[in-house]
Chain A
């Protein structure tokens, strides 16, 4: 499977390394060249030597998305640090590039819920954390 990941922060870079180790083709896009270090950290070979791709560019720019290979992607993951950027580029991936599967990271539970209702596959770490805290409070708190 060919995976394109926009945003190589803590989440994006970890998912990228996992996907590459699992045998997928992985291309990462980030506007910060330094984010490349997160892909190399703790690895014996560099990201590129291990077979990964890395593009420096802004995720909303069509040239950057194209260079990262979005047109061929089987899976697109929007994991930049901006909820609105993720929601916009995820829709671009679906509507313009017809990527078969698109997953979007949305911190705000409100937007994550509504856009999920509109058919976007969203993951909200905040929502997950809230549920875990509720769980930790025990059954008597519910």
Chain B
């Protein structure tokens, strides 16, 4: 696979090293001269000096034959532009963009720059996962399909604790798909009784999280 990476910061340089190690052909683009020279000592011809938002720099790197363009500069506008141009002008099929400020994620989506990755969002997800008091974990967001899968731990005081699945009136657009109990998971029937301590997996339309936690892990 031929991969172009825009931005030779920590993320870009390490990505380049890993992808080369996996046998891919990589060109890393870096527009700070001193940074470029540092990287060049290790990556040699796999790094090029230039501003990846300049069309001729992308063309010099061979964007027309790239299988994947990854934009990981520290500037969200630059990342949007690089991916937009790669996808729409040079018809590169796969792009990945880094979101520096999570508040800009909406603009990546608005302008068709998908998928995009935000380290801040990833760490927030980890916090959700690691801090149990948060109650609810996002396991999967299917943005295009407008669905998400969440995991929630049933607390002692939950209205759903001790009730059968059929007795729990969940909001429309949500469904229990699995129950994890004592280290194993199973698909519940309408007669399955939900117990405190269970971890319940649900699929739901985005925005129903609060209505769901009210059943399984209401705020004290």
A residues engaging B (CB < 8 A)?
Answer: 60-62, 82-85, 87-88, 91-92, 95-96, 108, 110-111, 114, 118
Contacts and interface: CB of A to CB of B under 8 A. Distances in A.
A84 B83 CA distance: 12
B143 interface: no
Contact of A84 (B81, B88, B104, B110): B81
B192 to A, nearest CB: 44
A85 B76 CA distance: 9
B85 to A, nearest CB: 7
Contact of A95 (B80, B104, B111): B111
Contacts of B54: 108, 110-111
Contacts of B103: 61-62
B107 A111 contact: no
A84 B104 CA distance: 14
B110 A95 contact: yes
Contacts, number: 45
Interface in B135-149: none
Given A88-B107, A118-B88, A83 B76 contact: no
B81 A87 contact: yes
B75 A84 contact: yes
B89 interface: yes
B205 interface: no
Contact of B77 (A62, A88, A114): A88
A111 B77 contact: no
A65 to B, nearest CB: 11
B167 to A, nearest CB: 43
7 smallest CB-CB distances across A and B, nearest first, come from: A84-B77, A110-B55, A84-B81, A88-B77, A85-B77, A84-B78, A88-B80
Interface in B108-146: 110-111
A96 B55 contact: no
B184 to A, nearest CB: 45
A60 to B, nearest CB: 6
A111 B104 contact: no
Q: Which of A62, A82, A88, A91 has the most CB atoms of chain B within a 10 A radius of its CB?
A: A88
Interface string B178-210: 000000000000000000000000000000000
Contacts of A60: 76-77, 104, 107
A84 B111 CA distance: 13
